[in-house]
Chain A
Amino acid sequence: MQYRCEVYIRPRADILDPQGDAVNNALANLNFQGVSEVKVGKYLTLLLESDGQSAAEEQLDKMCQTLLANPIIEDYEMKVTEA
């Protein structure tokens, strides 16, 4: 079975995010009101051949922990759906 996997990676809440701060400032300079806590992260998609939904999720989680995200500075969320 093939699964479409999505991974959202973002800086952890307690970590300084200079990119997010710069975008926040840029929005303020453009007079967008009420914006705060801008965070810039990454969005990855991939197709994965796997035996089932839970096996696919397990594999994807391992990929996130090994390579895709750095748990010291980043949080991630996964979404796995049948392709």
Chain B
Amino acid sequence: MKVAVVIFPGSNCDHDALHVSGKVMGWDVIPVWHESAELGGADLVILPGGFSYGDYLRCGAIARFSPIVEAVIRHAKAGGLTLGICNGFQVLIEAGLLPGALLNNTCLEFRCIWTYLKVQATNSPFTRELEVGDLLRVPIAHGEGNYFAPPELVKQLAAEHRIAFRYCDEHGKATEAANPNGSVDNIAGILNEGRNVLGMMPHPERASELVLGSADGKRIFESLNAAYADVGW
């Protein structure tokens, strides 16, 4: 699988995404600078975490107008695999590829902690090797990850099985205490209508090797691997 990791000024998880793609998964991965207008024929595009353009105005708002994001929009709209992690999720929302908004954490703190994610939807290339109800131990690191969507949109996302992950406690209960940022319905990650775009605040690339404390995040990359091997992309 050919993978492109997009780098904006202020990205800081780009090397983690490159490392996991290249060294852990063995994919053919290239970094792509935000001024580029081409994704180099990538099958999967990863928008990594960080603080693109210093988070000025709103997180992701300025990055969204980078030349490369126009290419990402074309890629995603043509059904190409697109994964936005943390700031990458914020960029995908600003670009209109995913619905809703990400607000300040209700605690007003930058939260850098381990969380448990409960898998909610498995009919996507990102989650097909997972089971509904599986728990993934994956860290978060953000100040603005409070997912907001109007009630009717939350209902629609749930009905269409587009809520990929919910924050939960270690027993799999999606409690208020297990919600690190105030996200509506404990939502941690969502899929687009075509199920080829996933945005998530937690960092699976920081939990893909046991030496880092968890390899649960790798299961998402393994799902992508299986999806690609199975049907191509």
Residues of A within 8 A of B (CB): 15-16, 18-19, 22, 42, 67-68, 70, 72-73
Contact = CB atoms under 8 A, between A and B. Distances in A.
Nearest to B184: A16
B61 A70 contact: yes
B59 to A, nearest CB: 10
B103 A16 contact: yes
A72 B146 CA distance: 14
B148 A15 contact: yes
| Residue among B61, B94, B103, B105 facing the most chain A CB atoms (10 A cut-off) | B103
Interface in B136-169: 146, 148
Contacts of A73: 101, 103, 148
B182 A16 contact: yes
A19 B58 contact: no
B148 A18 contact: no
B83 to A, nearest CB: 22
Main secondary structure on B side of the interface with A: loop
Interface of B: 57-58, 61-62, 65, 94, 100-101, 103-108, 146, 148, 182
Given A15-B148, A18-B106, A67 B182 contact: no
B103 A15 contact: yes
B182 A18 contact: yes
Contacts, number: 34
| Residue among B100, B104, B108 facing the most chain A CB atoms (10 A cut-off) | B104
B65 A67 contact: yes
A14 to B, nearest CB: 8
Contacts of A72: 100-101, 148
Contacts of B103: 15-16, 18, 73
25 contacts: A15-B148, A16-B103, A16-B106, A16-B146, A16-B148, A16-B182, A18-B103, A18-B105, A18-B107, A18-B108, A18-B146, A18-B182, A19-B104, A42-B57, A67-B65, A68-B57, A70-B58, A70-B61, A70-B94, A70-B101, A72-B100, A72-B101, A72-B148, A73-B103, A73-B148
Contacts of B100: 72
A-B complex: 8 closest residue pairs judged by Cβ atoms: A73-B101, A18-B104, A72-B101, A18-B106, A18-B108, A22-B108, A70-B58, A19-B104
B116 to A, nearest CB: 23
A18 B101 CA distance: 14
A16 B106 CA distance: 8
Contacts of B94: 70
A18 B107 CA distance: 7
